Each structure stands twice: as C-alpha cells, then as structure tokens.
Amino acid sequence: MGNPLKDQLLKAGLVSKKQAKKVEHEKRISRQQNQGKVQAPQSNQVREEQAAHARRNQELTRQRAEEARRKEQKAQVKQLIESNRLALDGRGEAYFFADQNKVKRLFVAEEMAEQLSRGQLAIVRLGNGYEVVPAKVAHQIANRDPEAVVAFHQGG
C-alpha cells in the first residue's frame, strides 16, 4: 500500500519518482534520528530504575546484616547467662524486684540478697525466667542487650 497523496502527485505530474523517493528517504532518516532521541531518555529511565533497584538491594542487605547481628548478640547474652548463672535457693528468702512495672520475686540465699542489694550481683532475664549473675557479667550483658538486665544496683 502506497501513500495516496504521493500517488496522486505522481499521476498529476507535479513530482517525479526521484523526488518522491528522496522525500521518503528523508522521512525515514528523520524517524530513525527521532527514535534515537526517544531511546536516550528511556535509557536514562532504565539507569534510574537500576540505581533504585541497587539502593533497595543495599537496604535489604543492611537490614539482613543488622538482624544477623542482633541474633548473634542475643545468642551471646544467652550463653553468658547460662555459663555464669548462680544457683538459686528455693528455700531462701524472697528478693523482690520490678520488671516492666510489675513486682516480681526470686528466692535466693540471704548472702545473695545482700550482694544483690550492694550491686555485686544482678538479676537478668533468660527466656521467661530470671537468673542471678555476677556484676561483671551483668555489665557484659548490658553492653549487648540492655533489656536483658532486670535488676542491677550499680554505683553503690
């Protein structure tokens, strides 16, 4: 299918075949050049999308690394507590302390209760329960997870 206007102009003798081909050739070249100009912004858009994708990937990687670091610290806290906890005395005296606005109690030996009051020992959370650890260990735990240390009378 040809161009009806071109066909009419050729029949009327207003243009020659050579002139018509020249005009078509110029149109084709013009279209190709315009396509090149249109593709450049698309390539910019593609680059922007790739950069945004890379930023999202970096953020996800950072979040995963942070989560892994938190899990590692929790594991270190658990290991510190389990390896340094002191034996509780179920028949000893009750030691009362506050945890999340609730008063809790732990049965400890009389000597341990005095050491807790002086800041030589501390109460830490392990799972749903509580353990007593030396002050040095409580400092190490507080550096990794401050929320794990429940009762620690420092500076006294």
* Per-residue model confidence as pLDDT tens digits over 8-24: 877 888 788 888 888 88
* Per-residue model confidence as pLDDT tens digits over 98-149: 888 899 888 888 888 898 888 899 999 988 889 999 999 999 999 998 888 8
Residue identified by tokens 């650890």 is 133
> What average pLDDT does the structure give for the chain?
86
For residue 42, pLDDT over 80 is answered with no
Give me the pLDDT at residue 39, please.
55
pTM over 0.75: no
| Domain edges within the chain | 1-68, 85-151
Give me the pLDDT at residue 45, please.
86
Q: Please list, residue by residue across 22-40, b when 16 or more beta carbons sit within 10 angstroms of its beta carbon and e when fewer do.
A: eeeeeeeeeeeeeeeeeee
Give me the pLDDT at residue 57, please.
94
User: Once rounded to an integer, what is the mean pLDDT over residues 28-42?
Assistant: 72
Distances (CA, A) of 120 to 17, 32, 65, 130, 149: 105, 83, 35, 17, 14
